Chains A and B, each alone.
Chain A
């Protein structure tokens, strides 16, 4: 087990390392001069040169990458003009565009994305697992057919269409909900939930389709297994069979998928964030990419990439714990 974890951890580091290399390479060939952008619209060549020096952009790209690794490992000192600004390890550097520490920018945005992802997860689990169970129990009936169609429709709808319809219905016509604008949980928990309700719902409606299908098929598979048949033969009540035994058998894949989805949500909720105007990591990433703000892009990509990689490991572990039939390779 420990050896397994160690190997996975090393693999994760390799993947993240490769990710940062890919980003550096991509930005190296991409047009757009960050020094000019940072300098302002009407800089003269001398000023651009100063800013370039300030941002160490004159160095060869491998030196820049080396400095980046150094900053990650040991932190970095930056001049403020009058003094020194220390950026603690792991230091992703300072944004080219506004001199903010990338770490600060990420920690400001992280709660928004985390709120979005976690809340949506609760909803999609409730919706998805619930309807999956229901359709597994009422096989062949109208309920199942309706649910199948609903889940198919869910898979087929892009989030920006569902989101738009929800906004139109609940904000414009009915006026039940505010137009989402993020309020921090620490500031006002009620407003936090109220403002996030629509984005949560939009995401959950789409994600839950997948969960309903997964729950249903896992349930059916489990119900068909020998030990369940044995229970039935012994006259164990159907409710107990479903609630205790079949559900337990069906949950591991659901749990594993949840971990994976949660992980990828950190970098992939851009459309939802954009549509609902939530200042999360996805929006930060898109903005930084457009302004050639390399330190921010690398920082966010590494954080979201780590979320994906860790989610992979967690999913496999959870799955192994929940289902002992699977041995960890």
Chain B
């Protein structure tokens, strides 16, 4: 699960509301970026300097350490990977396409062996050729303890991945035997079991080539060697200020995805979200040709922007496969009783929750665990219809059957809801209190347990300390049902001594088998249908209560052209932006 693009928040965002000079006239936000290539008028041309105003510094600029969905934004300017995401607006952007490789890979009959061929004419920023051994080395590095941080799939999928400790410990060895490089252009991956989604995994930065001779371990992030259209010219303050310039050895002929319109890209980060949005809206000097890749509009800013037509035209809307939900631990009382879980599902007031998450423009109510995207296999269902504001009557009825309520044997149902104290509209106090108020109508007494964010994350994801009920969220590592459902509902992914995400501890052989069966399918659309069906089936057990899917509103500078926001990332794709 990758880090979410940050929503501008609270104290740090103190100045947000004032930031945007707007008129009072109320009109709904006009959504730009819906059509292909939104933004300023005119055809995109080469040249100019693009400024990126960001909150978080690119402090992990090492392909081994990055945890991205589809290779990241700024990183994908420098790192090319075997495959990459299709750089198109909306749903078309959820497709996977070849990048360094000639195609999406050739699977063996059972999808356990995947073979890739590199394109001709690939070179690093110094002109030296990119070889299959470099791609293999890049993957091997990500197993080193020094360079931890990436997604778990390589360790879990590659034969021998669970024991391999990376090239620094295993100096003399041949590295991972499950990655073969019969020649300088060919890579063969041997997986433990069939994985039809392998081409999607190959979009992550771990699949970027790293020349062994240039590897400097933990210091590699200061100047990673570029295989993409831009190279790092200057990196100060651990990724706080970056200057990227054209990589003369990159050729558009081998890269159909990245446009690389601007000559230079300057990244300024460590900025306050409110300042970012204010500078984008004012757009003075270099800020006119500016975008942000990690900040979106918060509720108060949205209230401001939506009143100003000029600004509202410069707002792009992004969707990203993501679900915020209530997670039960059915091994604890009273959540072991399905009636209690169902009652809670009926009682939830999604309107309050959506408002707490920023309102209907920033969150869509959810009744399915899978996000509402076709690529993930979205199949609508609503097993415990709570309507817009909850069904307290139905909830009381179920609770009565379970022995709770005024005058009932066990008295009114009293539960503790664990949440984080970070005010990020995720597992934050706002959402928790909104739920609390809603449940009150059904006679459910909710005690809130707010934990410091890190404490919260560790507690809810450890089988030993997991609370009975907590606010959870889950994002797509790539637009497919597999990485969305398996970590949460696959019984073999219950991690006893580490980060566990199967909070319901569901270990149902039927579910496990179906997951294995779907993983064998290499046809994405066929697989998506089965994921959707599986989600609908699991949903009957009321192991989670889906709450909402977030929506992202992204403001960009007035000179920014060719704005493309794919449903894969929900962020405007920096490789498409032009400023001339």
Contacts and interface: CB of A to CB of B under 8 A. Distances in A.
Given A41-B499, A172-B21, A179-B278, A51 B148 contact: yes
Interface string B200-238: 000000000000000111110000000000000000011
Contacts of B455: 31-32
B118 interface: no
B458 A33 contact: yes
A189 interface: no
B146 A80 contact: yes
Interface stretch (A136-144, A163-171, A211-219): A163-171
B11 A172 contact: no
Given A43-B152, A83-B216, A277-B275, A290 B11 contact: no
Interface stretch (B12-20, B381-389, B395-403, B564-572): B12-20
A100 B452 CA distance: 24
B1 to A, nearest CB: 6
A45 B459 CA distance: 15
B149 A160 contact: no
A81 B147 contact: yes
Nearest to B150: A40
Nearest to A172: B18
Contact of A44 (B65, B453, B498): B498
B279 A179 contact: yes
Of the candidates A40, A48, A163, the one having the most CB atoms from chain B within 10 angstroms of its own CB is A40
Interface string B406-444: 000000000000000000000000000000000000000
A79 B146 contact: yes
A124 B144 CA distance: 53
B243 to A, nearest CB: 14
Interface string B503-547: 000000000000000000000000000000000000000000000
A98 B238 contact: yes
A238 interface: no
B275 A275 contact: no
B458 A171 contact: no
A108 B146 contact: no
B498 A167 contact: no
Given A82-B217, A160-B14, A179 B238 contact: no
Contacts of B65: 40
A31 B14 CA distance: 29
A181 interface: yes
Given A41-B1, A274-B11, A79 B458 contact: no
For chain B, the bracket of interface size reads 35 or more
Contacts of A279: 270
B274 A179 contact: yes
A42 B152 contact: yes
A301 B424 CA distance: 27
Given A81-B168, A277-B274, A39 B497 contact: no
A99 B222 CA distance: 12
B51 to A, nearest CB: 13
A264 interface: no
Interface in A44-76: 44-48, 50-51, 53-54
Contacts of A168: 18
B237 to A, nearest CB: 6
A98 B59 contact: yes
A37 interface: yes
Interface in B125-175: 144-152, 155, 162, 165-166, 168
Given A45-B495, A47-B148, A274 B270 contact: no
Nearest to A169: B18
Given A81-B146, A275-B11, A290-B453, A44 B217 contact: no
A132 interface: no
Interface string A77-98: 0011111010000000000001
Nearest to A292: B454
A276 B60 CA distance: 26
Given A81-B144, A98-B60, 5 more contacts: A42-B152, A53-B145, A54-B145, A274-B11, A275-B11
27 contacts: A36-B499, A37-B454, A38-B148, A41-B67, A41-B457, A42-B67, A42-B487, A43-B152, A45-B497, A50-B148, A81-B147, A81-B168, A81-B218, A82-B215, A82-B217, A83-B216, A160-B14, A168-B18, A171-B278, A172-B18, A179-B272, A181-B271, A275-B15, A277-B14, A277-B271, A279-B270, A290-B452
Question: Which 9 A-B pairs have CB atoms at the shortest separation, nearest pair first?
Answer: A277-B272, A50-B145, A81-B217, A80-B217, A172-B18, A40-B149, A82-B217, A81-B168, A81-B146
Interface of A: 31-33, 36-48, 50-51, 53-54, 79-83, 85, 98-100, 104, 108, 160, 163-164, 167-168, 171-172, 175, 179-181, 274-277, 279, 290-292
Interface of B: 1, 3, 11-12, 14-15, 18-19, 21, 59-60, 65, 67, 144-152, 155, 162, 165-166, 168, 215-219, 237-238, 270-272, 274-275, 278-279, 452-455, 457-459, 487, 495, 497-499, 501
